[in-house]
Amino acid sequence: MTLKELATHIAAEFEKHYGRPPRWIVAAPGRVNVIGEHTDYNDGFVLPMAIERYAIMAADPSAASSSFSIYDTHFKETATIDVSGPVGKGQPKWSNYIRGVLAGFQNRGVKIPALDVAFLSTVPLGGGLSSSAALEVCTATLIEAATGRPIDPIEKALLAQKAEHDFAGVPCGIMDQFISALGREGHLLLLDCRTRKTELVPMRDPSVELLVVNTNVKHELGSGEYAKRRAECEDAARILGVKSLRDATPDQLEKAKGRMSDVVYRRARHVIGEIERTTHAAEGIRQSNWPTVGQFMYASHYALRDDYEVSCQELDVVVEIAEDIGYQGGVYGCRMTGGGFGGCCVALVKSDAVEAITKKIAADYKAKTGIEAAIFASRPAAGATIIKG
Ligand code: GLA
């Protein structure tokens, strides 16, 4: 569904459930990271784009003076949050992303309005496409619309990130919430996670597309391993005597190799290399040099697989199939994207070969793993928007 169709759909769902039309409609996209993985919490660069998959909410003032009710139109479940006092964690579990954002606004002195809300997400859940960031940023955008008080998009992204840390218990970096809040149609976002300076990198060449390949697996060890990787990077920085791995060079790392464990060395090698690959890939995109961008994507995958050890068999299978199809078959590059341990790969492909590549990846992946992949192409989409209100 396009965003316009989605807006019409959620308005109808709101009206069916609450018996009146909504006053506001807001949406925030999921994302795919083209390159720059596990660099955001190391003060590095990331290069994500917003995808044409959204969390969308329709809302209207509620008759109940202190309740914020969200009806999930897909799972047919309602979360009711008491907003008369400070909002805390609660049930159902998914409501914590929303609760965290409401609490963030309260901390800024904003009184949360009582609202009836209908909600839908077309971002696959747990697929590594930032469905939770989309939900957080969508909620923040709704509060902006309903209070008539917009906040700076960077502040909004940070507020959403804090919700994820404090209410969902995930020590994520800033990439996902930033791209959902700041994405621009037709552009990737080169984000310097140290200075928070952003640069929009146009990607409008009609001859290429980004394909998202969802392996439809999610290995449970993911969340614990994420925190472990962060700690290993901090260890490496300490041993190297730098504030973060952003400040370390490959030379420095080689010299210090004997002073760290092999695991810590390899984690740092990925991060230091990936920060460099990301700025080079951004340059390649500016010049529409697709073969070069593709090579950096493959290099990123190998480092994530061998040094950072956050890939998994299913992600590796997708990348191997992409390599088999190769440049002749229209694939420039492919890599796992997001936190890892399942979720999605992203492939840079020739537009006129999208159909054939999709068929081939789907068939070979099924043959090798027994699992159906979900594959879609997306143009770089816009960040969070107020559609009505
Ligand atoms: C998850 C986190 C991000 C980032 C990626 C890895 O998506 O939420 O902040 O660290 O993993 O690049």
Distance 45 CA to ligand 1 centre (A): 12
Ligand 1, atom 11, lies closest to the CA of: 339
> Relative to the CA of 46, which ligand 1 atom is closest?
12
Name the residue ranges covered by the structural domains of the chain: 3-203+381-388, 208-378
Instruction: Say how far apart CA 54 and CA 122 lie, in whole Å.
Output: 5
pLDDT digits (tens, 9 = 90+) for 62-86: 998 899 999 999 999 999 999 999 9
Amino acid at 208: V
pLDDT digits (tens, 9 = 90+) for 176-235: 999 999 999 999 999 999 999 999 999 989 999 999 999 999 987 667 899 999 999 999
Output DSSP code: residue 94.
T
CA of residue 362 to ligand 1 center, whole Å: 26
CATH class assigned to 3-203+381-388: alpha beta
Ligand 1 atom closest to the Cα of residue 339 is 11
Whole-angstrom distance, CA of residue 303 vs CA of residue 383: 30
CATH number for 208-378 (one of 3.40.50.2000, 3.20.20.80, 3.30.70.890, 3.30.450.20): it is 3.30.70.890
pLDDT tens, residue by residue, 320-331:
999 999 999 999
Element (H, E) at 216: strand 208-218
Residue 189's pLDDT is: 98
| Residue numbers annotated as active site | 176
Measured from the CA of 39, which atom of ligand 1 is nearest? Answer: 12
CA 37 to centroid of ligand 1, rounded, Å = 7
Q: How far is the CA of 19 from the centre of ligand 1 (A)?
A: 40
Question: Cα–Cα distances in Å, from 333 out to 137, 208, 330?
Answer: 30, 11, 9
**Protein residues whose CB sits closer than 6 Å to any atom of ligand 1:** 37-38, 40-41, 172-173, 175-176, 338-339
Q: The pTM is what?
A: 0.96
Predicted pLDDT at 222: 61
Peptide bond into 92 cis (omega under 30): yes
SS (H, E, C) 308-352: CCCCCHHHHHHHHHHHHHCCCCCEEEEEEECCCCEEEEEEEEEHH
Q: Residue 31 CA to chain centroid, in angstroms? A: 4
Hey, whose CA ends up nearest to atom 9 of ligand 1?
173
- On whether the CB atoms of residues 30 and 134 are closer than 8 A, the answer is yes
